[in-house]
């Protein structure tokens, strides 16, 4: 075999020597060690060794691959470091032993988790970490990022308070005790009256006016949200991205609807003289219920809510299995209880859709009690369905809880790493360069690291 090393192959890995027969290295021709020759750049003719400046800890596992045919991963090494060593020694992932595959594949899942967290918690605009910040950028970051400054925290608290007040006012608007009946005088003017005769909810809402005090509070919130959306739209660096956000579209739609209704309220004779305008007004008032979706702003500004949303997204497969299993069980038990009650003339369910309703409520442990099997066989079916429902609902809970723990722990570690990185980046450096004098120009110290560099360090985590 011309040009090949001797049968005894000596490997010097970072000063630690390993010996192995060349015949064993030929078991896996596609790996780096199988292609060693005396002409290799790693070969040292003076010592007859192949030198590699790599981690010697991994060499026991690498050489065991040639001896046993399986690659085992040391438990005291990071999976990322193991992957890098495998890439260097040209060992494919297929060679990893089955007993070590679980721990080896955890790295892939961790990287996916970190990537999702990075995408979710990434600032909408990275202007926060630029060296120069204009007034528009400061306003935008103050309104969008609660962590930007103390003023930003105060603003976001105030914004959430206005959202809470607006939602509470909306709920009180639908209470009869906070409505006053519309009464028209002979001259066409309106006056308030504390009683009304409407029996339907829609008729009550359309033929009454909200409490004057609540109406004023609602208009104050309307003015606040109008100014907020106008300012954010003005200072937003990316208008296209702004209009693509669902919450921004919802806010603009609600503001247009509420101002339209406000104008109609100022001119009541317009809606009274035209049935078409009245129908439009009815539709617009029904759109007021969309204001409840403003609670989603809490999720946009709350770290815990973002983690919860991430958990549900990552648990989509488990939730799908839950829904499919529950749907199958509901169909089965609804059919059984409907047939049982029908054969025994209990007359509990006069249609199958009521049996489906009963099965769903029973299996989800809600149990309204509006439909109850009266026969003994029907009650047996009901008991079994309740037990099966508990089992179906409990199985995915552990997986979902595990996903939540994974995300919350990764987010906590990310925040801690960010604080440590920022602390190191802002700590002044007092050491002089080796061999230098006080008159020489110092290298850039950590005190001179910009926020942009801090961001780049954090993104690499």
pLDDT in tens, 166-175: 889 888 888 8
Q: What is the pLDDT of residue 95?
A: 87
Share of the chain above pLDDT 90, in %: 11
Q: What is the pLDDT of residue 359?
A: 93
Q: Which residues contact 293 (CB under 8 A, 6 or more apart)?
A: 247, 250
pLDDT higher at 257 or 431: 257
Share of the chain above pLDDT 70, in %: 78
Q: What is the pLDDT of residue 198?
A: 55
**Cα–Cα distance list, 362 to 269, 321, 326, 378 (Å):** 52, 19, 11, 13
Q: What is the pTM of this model?
A: 0.58
Closest CA to 458 of 429, 423, 407, 428: 423
CB 324 within 8 A of CB 365: no
Q: What is the pLDDT of residue 183?
A: 60
C-alpha–C-alpha distance, residues 286 and 337, integer Å? 40
C-alpha–C-alpha distance, residues 343 and 341, integer Å? 6
pLDDT higher at 461 or 287: 287
For residues 17-22, average pLDDT: 88
C-alpha–C-alpha distance, residues 215 and 143, integer Å? 27
For residues 402-412, average pLDDT: 81
Neighbour tally for 211: CB within 10 Å: 19
Most confident of 84-98, 132-146, 180-194, 447-461: 84-98
**Cα–Cα distance list, 358 to 343, 370, 393 (Å):** 18, 8, 17
| Whether pLDDT at 351 is above 80 | yes
C-alpha–C-alpha distance, residues 282 and 304, integer Å? 38
C-alpha–C-alpha distance, residues 94 and 92, integer Å? 5
Q: What is the pLDDT of residue 459?
A: 42
Two tokens at 45? 């003719």
C-alpha–C-alpha distance, residues 258 and 265, integer Å? 10
Considering only CA atoms, give the Rg of the chain: 35
Two tokens at 198? 């409407």
pLDDT band at 127; cut points 50, 70, 90? very low
Least confident of 32-36, 123-127, 326-330, 371-375: 123-127
| Whether pLDDT at 190 is above 60 | no
pLDDT digits (tens, 9 = 90+) for 289-322: 888 888 887 777 777 777 888 888 888 888 888 8
For residues 320-338, average pLDDT: 92
For residues 400-407, average pLDDT: 84
C-alpha–C-alpha distance, residues 86 and 97, integer Å? 13
Q: What is the pLDDT of residue 361?
A: 92
Two tokens at 270? 């317009």
Q: What are phi and psi of 135, to 5 degrees?
A: -65, -40
| Whether pLDDT at 242 is above 70 | yes
Q: What is the pLDDT of residue 182?
A: 67
Mean pLDDT in the chain?
Answer: 78
């Amino acid at each position: 075999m011309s040009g090949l090393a001797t049968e005894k192959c000596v490997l010097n890995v970072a000063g630690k020597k390993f010996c192995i027969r060349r015949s064993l290295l030929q078991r896996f021709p596609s790996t780096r060690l199988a292609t060693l020759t005396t002409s290799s750049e790693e070969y040292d003719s003076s010592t007859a060794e192949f030198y590699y400046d790599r981690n010697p800890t991994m060499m026991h596992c690498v050489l065991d691959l040639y001896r046993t045919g399986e690659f085992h991963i040391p438990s005291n090494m990071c999976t990322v470091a193991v992957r890098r060593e495998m890439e260097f020694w040209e060992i494919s992932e297929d060679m990893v032993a089955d007993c070590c595959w679980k721990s080896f594949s955890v790295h892939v899942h961790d990287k996916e988790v970190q990537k999702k967290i990075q995408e979710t918690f990434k600032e909408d605009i990275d202007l926060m970490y630029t060296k120069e910040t204009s007034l528009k950028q400061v306003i935008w970051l103050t309104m969008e990022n609660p962590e930007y400054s103390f003023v930003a925290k105060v603003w976001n608290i105030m914004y959430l308070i206005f959202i809470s007040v607006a939602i509470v006012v909306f709920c009180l608007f639908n209470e009869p005790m906070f409505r006053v009946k519309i009464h028209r005088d002979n001259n066409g003017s309106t006056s308030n009256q504390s009683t009304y005769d409407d029996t339907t909810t829609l008729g009550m809402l359309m033929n009454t006016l909200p409490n004057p005090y609540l109406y004023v509070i609602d208009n104050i919130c309307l003015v606040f949200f109008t100014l907020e959306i106008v300012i954010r739209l003005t200072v937003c660096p990316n208008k296209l991205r702004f209009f693509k956000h669902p919450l921004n579209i919802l806010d603009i739609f609600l503001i247009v609807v509420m101002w339209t209704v406000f104008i109609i309220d100022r001119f009541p004779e317009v809606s009274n003289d035209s049935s078409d305008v009245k129908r439009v007004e009815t539709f617009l008032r029904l759109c007021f219920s969309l204001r409840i979706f403003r609670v989603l702003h809490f999720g946009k500004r709350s770290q815990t809510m973002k983690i919860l949303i991430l958990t549900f997204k990552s648990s989509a497969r488990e939730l799908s299995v839950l829904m499919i299993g529950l749907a199958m069980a509901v169909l089965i038990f609804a059919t059984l209880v409907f047939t049982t009650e029908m054969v025994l003339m209990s007359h509990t369910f006069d249609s199958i859709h009521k049996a489906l309703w009963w099965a769903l409520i029973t299996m989800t442990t809600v149990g309204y009690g509006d439909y109850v099997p009266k026969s003994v066989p029907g009650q047996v079916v009901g008991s079994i369905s309740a037990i099966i429902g508990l089992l179906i609902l409990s199985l995915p809970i552990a997986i979902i809880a595990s996903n939540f723990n994974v995300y919350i722990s990764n987010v906590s570690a990310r925040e801690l790493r960010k604080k440590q990185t920022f602390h190191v980046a802002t700590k002044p450096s007092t050491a002089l360069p080796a061999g230098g004098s006080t008159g020489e120009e110092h290298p850039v110290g950590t005190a001179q690291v910009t926020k942009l560099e801090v961001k780049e360090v954090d993104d690499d985590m």
